[in-house]
Chains A and B, each alone.
Chain A
Amino acid sequence: MSDVKVLLFGAAADRAGIRQTKVRINHVVTLGELWSVLADQHPHLIPMRETLAFAVNGEYARMEDTVSTGDEVAVLPPVSGG
Chain B
Amino acid sequence: MFFQILKEPIDVKALITGAFHPKCGAVASFIGTTRADESGSARVEYLEYEAYRPMADKKLEEIGEEISERWKVGYVAIVHRIGKVDPGEPSVAIVVAAPRREPAFEASRYAIERIKEIAPIWKREVWSDGYVWVGSQVGTRP
Contacts and interface: CB of A to CB of B under 8 A. Distances in A.
Contacts, number: 81
A9 B50 contact: yes
Contacts of B135: 10-11, 77-80
Q: How large is the interface on A (under 10, 10 to 19, 20 to 34, 35 or more residues)?
A: 20 to 34
Name A's interface SS. mixed
A37 B121 CA distance: 25
Contacts of A15: 138
A81 B116 contact: yes
B121 A79 contact: yes
Given A10-B136, A14-B138, A82 B55 contact: no
Nearest to B54: A58
A14 B49 CA distance: 14
Contacts of B112: 82
Interface string B95-138: 00000000000000000100111111111100000000111101
Interface of B: 32, 49-52, 54-56, 58, 80, 91-92, 112, 115-124, 133-136, 138-139
- 4 residue pairs, one from A and one from B, having the closest CB atoms: A81-B121, A11-B136, A10-B122, A11-B138
